[in-house]
Structures are given as C-alpha cells and as structure tokens.
Amino acid sequence: MSSVLISHSNFIIPFLLFIGSFFIYSFNLEGQPWHGDEITYLGWAGNYIQLLKQGDLSNPCLSSLDNCNLLYHLPAFGLTYSHIRNLFIGFPMIVENKDGGNFYNWSCYWDCYNPSKGPTVAEMTAGRLLSPLFGSLTIVISYLIGKVLCNRYVGITFSLLFLFYDLWIWYSRTIMTEVHYIFFSMLSFLLLLYAVRSEHLKIKYLIASAVSFGLALSTKILAVEFSVLFLGIILYGITARHRTDSSKRSIPKIMLSALIFFGVSGLSLFLTEPEFYHNPLQEITIMKSDMDNYNRDVWYIGYPTIHGIQPNRILTLFHYTVFPSFIEKQISNPHLNLSGNFGWTYPPTYSSIPLSIFFFIGIGSLIYGVWKTRRWSPEAILLLWFASTFIFTLLIARDFSLERYLLPFLISIILIASYGLWIFIKNLTYNRTKIVFSIYFIFVHSMTAMSYWQKIYFSPETTWVNPLHYGTLQDSFDYYLTFVMNIAFVCFLLYMVMIQFRQRMKKRIEIK
C-alpha cells in the first residue's frame, strides 16, 4: 500500500507543480510589461518562421545574420541569433496567425526603431506563448533535482521557491533567451544525475544530457557556466558511487565519460547551425568571429577574464543576490539611464528575507558537512554548483545590473536555501509546527515577488528595463503588508530557535 502511495506522489507532485506554475506564468500574457530585447527577438523569429513557411530554405537569413538583408544586423548580434529560439518564438506566431510584420524595423529596436511600425500587443503575446511552458517544466525539473540530490522535502521547497522567484516569473512570461537555456541546462543537470545515480553509468542518460546541454549552449552560450558543475557530477558518479573500482581504473572512466559528454554537447551545438553541414570549418570560424565581435561590442559581457575577480565585484555580486548594501551609492550609468543617489535600493537584491536567511544556514551546513566527511557527496555537488557559477559570473559578466546573467548562480542560492530549511527543521519533534513554519516560509517569499501582481499581469504599455526592481528584498520593506509579514517571519524564526534550544537541553538532561 505504501509503495502505491509513493508511486502516486511521484506523479501527483510534479503534475500539481506544473499546473500551478503554468497558470501563474501564463495568466493574461497580454498584460505583461515589455522589454526592448523582446521586440528584437520577435523580429528575428518572425522573419525566420515566415521564410520556413514560404519554403525559402536557401535564404541566407535562415543560416545567420551575416548575409541577411531582411533584418538589421550588428556584428555583435551574430552570436545571439539562435535557430532553436527562433523556432520556439516563431511557431506560436504561425499558430496565432501573427507571423506578419515589419521584421526589419523590429530587429533594429536598439538603433533605428520606428514605434509606429512596431509589434502589437497581440503579436508580442503570440511570441510569448511557449515561455510559460518552458518556465513550468523547469519548475518540475527543479523539484526532481532537489529530490535526487537531497530528498523530497528539499525538492518541493526548491521548486516552490523557484516558482515564486521574481526574476523567473518575469522571464517565464516574456520573449527572452533565459527561459530556454535555463530549461535545457536544468534538464541536462537532471539527466546527468540519473546517469550517475546507479552502480553503473547509464550511457543513454549521459548522451541525452549532453544533447540537452548542447541545445542550451545553442540557445545562449552563457550556459557554459554549468560546465564545471557537470564535470563535477561525472566525477562524483564514478568516484563516489563506484567504490569497488580502484583509483587507477576510475581515472580513465572519468576522462572517457567527460570526453563523451562534452564531445556530444559540442556536436549538438554545431549541428543546430545549418551551415555546419555544408562547411563545418567555416561555420566554426564564423561562430568564433561572432564571439569576438560580441566580446568587443557588447559592454556588459565578454570572454572570461581573471580581472573580474576583485573584492569590490565580489561584494557587489552578493549585494545583487543575497543581502542589500546599506551604503548610499552615486550611480552614473548612461547605458541604463541611471544617475543619482540610489540609497540602499541599489543594487536591487534579488532575494527575500526568508531566502537570504536560510541561504546562510544552508551554506554553513554544507561547508561543515563536506569538511567533516571530506568526500564526494550530494552536498559537495551543491557547493560546487554555487562556487563554480559564482566564479564564472565574476569572470564573464562585466556589469551585474543585467540580472539575467546571474541566473545560474542565483538558482544555486535557491537550492541551498531549501537545503538550509530542511537542515533547520529536520530534527524538530513538533511536526505541526514544522509544517506551519515551512508554509509560512514559502508564503512570505512568494508575497515578496507577487506584491507586484498588478504590474506583472496588467501593464501592457509599461516598458521594463534592467535592473529589474520589482519583487526584490528591499521592496518587501517598502510596503506595509510585506513588511509586517517579514517581521512576523523573523519572530516565528526566533520562536523556532527557542523550541530547538529547549529540545536539545532536554535531551542533554535525559542523557545525564
């Protein structure tokens, strides 16, 4: 009987997570504020899918922007012309009969855009239709990742925190690259965990994970931030799971598995480029040229550089992700139209009070646990995810104000906070109190993001720009309701600490 209940819960929980998140992400897409990048991507995808519909398969615009006269093109845009993303955005446009428009004008939004010829709200909505689907599937995947790495409780907490994460709500409702590359990266993560979780490496899951990672790279090259994590999972799967092998036999297995994974990932990336079939070397050269141009022309991201690791950048990154800065800052950034004294609201902290508190509990517990055991473990994988994406973010992102480049790092923080909550309450004997506290934890976090529900669902004429200031930690103090909920949460937390202290003291007295 218990096995039947477990089997049902294995299906019911992902199903409920998908239905709930899909409703939240897809509700009234017409009312979602728009971003300039959405219009550019919509122009590319609309032109791409229209050429496919017309059967004009020899048109150079299907291969790249380099020789395309139907779209506006800067050299730096070549790297971001994703064929997979064009299909995901363009296909709903055909279904909704919104595949017409002045695509050239849309594609030059940041340079020569004419608003009178821009896309309508209905056309923007058509391009967004699949984003809630990918966003919701990512929530389900996050639950499974948390469950495989830790347990079902951590998986549920991770998925719910991620579901109500302010940035993910926005990107799951817009025509942006993030929802696609994060989905494929997280899917690759999950499949790789399935590949190494048994006694013997499952090649079919390894290959599927590699293909998914290649698609993530094709959608957005920033997915490379997950590469060290994936290498660590392969190392974990062979050394920690296969203890019967000697170290000399493990090294060739690790090297071969890593070679297969990254080789298939690279092949998957290149095979999504149509010109690769005609002239592979030339296509690789063009991609390298696009990366060079992107690194030179786009001011906020570039090739990894060791100069990115500086104390002030490290502190600023934590201000964006975990805790706010209480020092008033004078900002002068013409690229983002920012100037003046922003106080503690800049940088905006993409977190919530519950999330930040339990991140520190979680990271402390992870460090202690890994240091105590000194062996590969799921906890070590969590630390590797955090450390590797943290370093990659410092090396690659030149400016953290475009919060989309922080997502691989931010997601690790969410999972670590989920782990911290489980560590905090797992030994508590009062089950009802544990359940109520967990629910209130999720509720306060969700209200931090959803306090702007009117802005999210009913502001079609609003332009949102980076950095995104909605649903941040600082905002939760600016409104009476969320401020009171945060104070109540801190009081509840202190009460839980007192309960645990009394519980431990009682055990010590009984032992004596």
Upstream peptide bond of 311 is cis (omega within 30 degrees of 0): no
Which residues, in sequence order, are bridge partners of residue 330? 341
pLDDT, one tens digit per residue, over 276-286 is 777 778 778 87
pLDDT, one tens digit per residue, over 217-241 is 999 989 999 999 999 999 888 776 6
CB neighbour list of residue 149: distance below 8 Å, 6 or more residues apart: 193, 378, 381, 382, 415
Is pLDDT at 250 greater than 80 in this prediction? no
DSSP state of 130: T
> Which amino acid, residue 25?
Y
Structure token digits, residue 109: 């939004």
* Other CB atoms within 10 Å distance of the CB of residue 405: 23
pLDDT, one tens digit per residue, over 202-214 is 999 999 999 999 9
DSSP state of 56: -
Nearest CA to 336 out of 430, 237, 160, 463 is that of 463
> Which amino acid, residue 54?
Q
Tell me how far apart the terminal alpha carbons of the chain are, to the nearest angstrom.
Answer: 42
Kindly state the helix (H) or strand (E) to which residue 305 belongs, with its residue range.
none
Strands 338-341 and 330-333 come out as: antiparallel
CB neighbour list of residue 329: distance below 8 Å, 6 or more residues apart: 341, 342, 343, 346
Q: How far apart are CA 141 and CA 489, in angstroms?
A: 28
Q: How far apart are CA 159 and CA 137, in angstroms?
A: 11
pLDDT, one tens digit per residue, over 124-164 is 999 999 999 999 999 999 999 999 999 999 999 999 999 99
More confident residue, 342 or 428: 428
* Other CB atoms within 10 Å distance of the CB of residue 253: 16
> Which amino acid, residue 458?
F
pTM of the predicted protein model: 0.93
Supply the pLDDT for residue 331: 61
Query: What is the gyration radius of the CA atoms in the chain, in angstroms?
Result: 24
Supply the pLDDT for residue 1: 45
Q: How far apart are CA 394 and CA 427, in angstroms?
A: 37
